[in-house]
Amino acid sequence: VEIEERLSGAFGISWRNDLDAIPEADFERIFEQAYAARLLPGASLEALGIEDADDPERPLVLRYRLDAPRFGHREGSEFVLPSLFPMGLSPSLTNLPSRTTPTQIDRISFEIEMEVKAPKAQTVRAHEAIREEGPGGAFFEMDFEGDAKRFVQRRRVDIPRMRVDADDYPEL
């Protein structure tokens, strides 16, 4: 499985802080154990590349290749892929059940592209493409392309920095 992540805003800052805090000699081991294994249980890291770690004006780019023997499963002649990168933004944006005052949301922007070279199968099946739009130009989109040998999933999230009134907080 080959994955490319482009991280900006709060996610880019968080990853850059992690890169600064972890000794370079330990980073690949920690990345495999703490991040890759969470995405794909049983996966092992084959390659890792990081771009623009020192340029906060550009997205941080993580490119990695994982050997994931238990990724996906067969249903007849189809190879069925699970959903990766479950969306868990709500807890980081809305950590209270309600608000009586406005709140400020920092920008969150990331793009993830995952390529899977499927085992022999007649077709690859995954989720339908979607696009959801939110307040202030925020959006989430996910799309797929592929055939029996190769499959690409793209996921993009962009939430601009915005002020959220207390009445609009539940929708967020």
Its pTM stands at: 0.71
Is the pLDDT assigned to residue 20 strictly greater than 90? yes
Q: What is the pLDDT of residue 127?
A: 66
The whole-number average pLDDT for the span 36-59 is 90
Question: Which among 46-55, 84-93, 161-170 has the top mean pLDDT?
Answer: 46-55
pLDDT per position as a tens digit, 82-140? 666 555 566 666 777 888 999 888 888 888 877 776 666 556 666 678 898 887 888 88
Q: What is the pLDDT of residue 51?
A: 94
The whole-number average pLDDT for the span 25-34 is 92
Q: What is the mean pLDDT of the chain?
A: 81
C-alpha torsion sign, points 27, 152, 12, 167: negative
The whole-number average pLDDT for the span 9-29 is 90
Q: What is the pLDDT of residue 52?
A: 94
Task: For residues 75 and 132, give the distance between their C-alpha atoms in angstroms, rounded to a whole number.
Answer: 29
Q: Report CA Rg, the chain.
A: 18
Q: What is the pLDDT of residue 50?
A: 94
Task: For residues 45 and 87, give the distance between their C-alpha atoms in angstroms, rounded to a whole number.
Answer: 23
In total, the chain counts a number of residues equal to 172
Task: For residues 169 and 172, give the distance between their C-alpha atoms in angstroms, rounded to a whole number.
Answer: 5
Residue among 123, 10, 109 at smallest CA distance from 72:
123
Task: Report the 10 Å Cβ neighbour count for 20.
Answer: 9
Is the pLDDT assigned to residue 46 strictly greater than 90? yes
Residue pair 150/118 in contact by the 8 Å Cβ criterion: yes
| Strand pairing report for 123-125 and 78-80 | parallel
Residue among 63, 57, 64 at smallest CA distance from 8:
57
Q: Which two tokens stand for residue 165?
A: 């009134």
Q: What is the pLDDT of residue 5?
A: 87
Beta bridge partners of 3: 64, 114
| Strand pairing report for 150-159 and 108-117 | antiparallel
